[in-house]
C-alpha cells in the first residue's frame, strides 16, 4: 500500500470552487500515478477553517470517487498558515514510487517537488550533447530527456512500414498513428515504440539520417514538441536536441549551445560507433555528419540554431568533464 499526498487552494469559499478544486486535485493524483479507481482504498481530506461552504469529501464523491472510503476533517488554526487550503491523503493499493501533487498556492508548501528545473542544450550531431547531458542530469539529480530519440523512433517506424520519407502523406499517416512513449528505468531513458523498447534499434546510421529528414516536417515537430513540453512542464530535466532553446522551451532560464568542428564530431562518432561494431569509415561518418548538419540547419521549421540567450560552448578542445563543469557552474551562478 502507498500513501499519496496532495493539496490545493481556492480563492473563494464557494461550493463550485471547492468541487472544481477537489476534482482537479484528485484527477491530478490519478493521472500522475497512473491509478485505476479500484486501487484507491480511502481518501482523507483536511481543510482550513475558512472553508465552510462544502465538504471536500462530498466533492470527491460527486467527482466520481465514490467506491472508496472518504473522510473530511478540520485543520487546527495556525498563524500564518496557507488560507483556503484543502489537503488530501490517498491510500492506494500497489507498489510504486508515489507522485505527490500540489496545485495552485499549495505549490508553495512543497517547493522541493513543485519547482521544476529545465535545462536546454542544443547543438549539431556529435557535439557531445548526450554524454554531457547524462552527466549533468546525474549531478543535478534530474532526468535527461533525449529528444532526438523521439524523432529516431518515428524514423524507425517509417523504416519498418517501408514509408518513403519524401512522401509527406505516408509520413503523416505514420506520425498520426505513432505510439511513442518515453519512460525511465534506473534514471535511464527507455524509448518505447508500440510498447517495444527500441532504445538500441534507433541508433543505426540509417535511422540517424532518416530522423533528420522526417524531423523537418512541421506535423512531426508539432507532435514531438507537445510531448517534450508536457514532460518538461512537470519534470525537472535537461533536454537536448536542435530547437530546445529556440522553440520547445523559449523561456527556459538555462540554455546552452554545444558545438565542435565537423571533423572532431565525426571522429567522436566514428570511435563511438566502432566500439559498437560499426563498419563505417571515418570519411563516411564525416559525410553523414555534414549531410545531417545541412539538413538540420536548413529546414524551414525550427532549424538548428543557437538561441540568442544561450551560452555557447565549443567542445572541440574540451574534455567531457570540463564541459559538464562549465554547464553546472553556469547553472549555479543563476540559481
Ligand atoms: O540528437 P540526435 O542525433 O539523436 O537527433 C536525430 C535527428 O533528429 C537529428 O538529426 C535532427 C532531429 N532532431 C530535431 O530535429 N530536433 C530535436 N530536438 C532533436 C533531434
Residue nearest to atom 16 of ligand 1 (CA): 242
Grid cell locating 62: 460527486
Q: How far is CA 20 from the centre of its chain?
A: 27
Contact 90, 17 (CB under 8 A): no
> Who contacts 251 (Cβ-Cβ below 8 Å, separation ≥6)?
none
Give pLDDT, residue 112.
63
> Who contacts 143 (Cβ-Cβ below 8 Å, separation ≥6)?
137, 184, 187, 189, 235, 236, 237, 238
Q: Which of 165, 198, 212, 262, when mutated, tests ligand 1's pocket best, judged by the most ligand atoms within 8 Å of its CB?
A: 212
How many Å lie between the centroid of ligand 1 and the Cα of residue 292?
Answer: 9
**CA 197 → CA 161, 179, 192, 209, 265, distances in Å?**
17, 12, 5, 20, 28
How many Å lie between the centroid of ligand 1 and the Cα of residue 139?
Answer: 24
| Strand 118-122, strand 69-74: pairing | unpaired
Residue nearest to atom 17 of ligand 1 (CA): 241
Distance CA 73, CA 45 (A): 6
CB neighbours (10 Å) of residue 101?
A: 28
How many Å lie between the centroid of ligand 1 and the Cα of residue 81?
Answer: 47
Residue nearest to atom 13 of ligand 1 (CA): 148
How many Å lie between the centroid of ligand 1 and the Cα of residue 119?
Answer: 17
Distance CA 241, CA 304 (A): 9
As beta bridge partners, residue 69 has 42
Q: Which of 132, 144, 151, when mutated, tests ligand 1's pocket best, judged by the most ligand atoms within 8 Å of its CB?
A: 151
Residue nearest to atom 10 of ligand 1 (CA): 212
Kindly give the number of the ligand 1 atom that is closest to the alpha carbon of 248. 18
How many Å lie between the centroid of ligand 1 and the Cα of residue 125?
Answer: 8
Q: Is the C-alpha dihedral spanning 34, 57, 100, 121 positive or negative?
A: positive
Distance CA 199, CA 182 (A): 10
Within 6 A (CB) of ligand 1 lie 125, 147-148, 151-152, 208, 211-212, 215, 241-244, 292, 296
- CA nearest neighbour of 40 among 95, 6, 2, 8: 2
Give pLDDT, residue 111.
67
Residue nearest to atom 12 of ligand 1 (CA): 212
Residue nearest to atom 14 of ligand 1 (CA): 242
Give pLDDT, residue 89.
98
How many Å lie between the centroid of ligand 1 and the Cα of residue 156?
Answer: 13
Contact 28, 101 (CB under 8 A): yes
How many Å lie between the centroid of ligand 1 and the Cα of residue 277?
Answer: 23
In the chain, where does DSSP find H-type helix? Answer: 15-32, 56-62, 111-114, 129-140, 148-160, 168-176, 205-214, 218-234, 262-275, 282-298, 320-334
Residue nearest to atom 18 of ligand 1 (CA): 241
pTM exceeds cut of 0.75: no
Distance CA 130, CA 239 (A): 9
Kindly give the number of the ligand 1 atom that is closest to the alpha carbon of 208. 6
**Averaged pLDDT in 10-residue chunks for the chain of 335 residues:** 96 97 97 95 97 96 96 93 96 89 90 81 94 93 93 97 92 96 88 96 93 96 96 92 96 96 95 91 96 93 94 96 96 84
Residue nearest to atom 2 of ligand 1 (CA): 148
Phi and psi for 92 in degrees, rounded to 5? -135, 140
Amino acid at each position: 500500500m502507498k500513501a499519496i499526498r496532495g493539496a490545493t487552494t481556492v480563492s473563494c469559499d464557494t461550493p463550485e470552487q471547492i468541487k472544481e478544486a477537489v476534482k482537479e486535485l484528485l484527477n491530478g493524483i490519478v493521472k500522475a500515478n497512473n491509478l485505476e479507481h479500484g486501487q484507491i482504498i480511502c481518501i482523507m481530506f483536511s481543510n482550513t477553517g475558512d472553508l465552510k461552504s462544502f465538504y471536500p469529501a462530498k466533492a470527491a464523491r460527486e467527482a466520481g470517487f465514490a467506491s472508496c472510503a472518504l473522510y473530511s476533517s478540520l485543520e487546527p488554526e495556525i498563524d500564518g498558515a496557507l488560507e483556503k487550503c484543502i489537503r488530501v491523503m490517498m491510500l492506494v493499493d500497489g507498489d510504486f514510487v508515489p507522485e505527490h501533487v500540489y496545485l495552485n498556492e499549495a505549490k508553495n508548501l512543497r517547493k522541493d517537488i513543485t519547482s521544476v528545473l529545465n535545462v536546454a542544450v542544443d547543438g549539431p550531431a556529435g557535439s557531445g550533447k548526450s554524454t554531457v547531458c547524462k552527466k549533468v542530469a546525474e549531478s543535478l539529480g534530474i532526468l535527461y530527456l533525449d529528444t532526438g530519440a523521439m524523432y529516431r523512433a518515428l524514423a524507425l517506424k517509417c523504416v519498418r512500414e517501408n514509408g518513403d520519407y519524401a512522401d509527406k502523406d505516408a509520413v503523416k499517416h505514420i506520425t498520426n498513428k505513432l505510439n511513442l512513449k518515453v519512460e525511465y528505468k534506473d534514471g535511464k531513458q527507455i524509448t518505447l515504440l508500440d510498447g517495444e523498447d527500441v532504445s538500441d534499434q534507433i541508433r543505426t546510421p540509417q535511422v540517424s539520417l532518416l530522423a533528420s529528414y522526417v524531423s523537418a516536417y512541421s506535423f512531426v515537430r508539432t507532435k514531438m514538441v507537445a510531448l517534450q513540453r508536457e514532460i518538461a512542464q512537470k519534470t525537472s530535466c535537461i533536454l537536448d536536441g536542435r530547437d530546445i532553446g529556440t522553440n520547445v522551451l523559449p523561456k527556459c532560464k538555462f540554455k546552452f549551445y554545444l558545438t565542435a568542428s565537423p571533423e572532431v564530431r565525426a571522429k567522436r562518432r566514428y570511435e563511438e560507433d566502432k566500439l559498437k561494431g560499426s563498419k563505417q569509415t571515418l570519411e563516411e561518418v564525416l559525410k553523414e555528419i555534414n549531410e545531417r548538419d545541412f539538413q538540420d540547419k536548413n529546414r524551414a521549421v525550427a532549424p538548428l540554431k543557437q538561441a540568442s540567450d544561450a551560452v555557447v560552448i565549443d567542445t572541440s578542445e574540451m574534455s567531457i568533464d570540463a564541459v559538464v563543469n562549465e554547464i553546472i557552474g553556469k547553472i549555479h551562478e543563476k540559481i
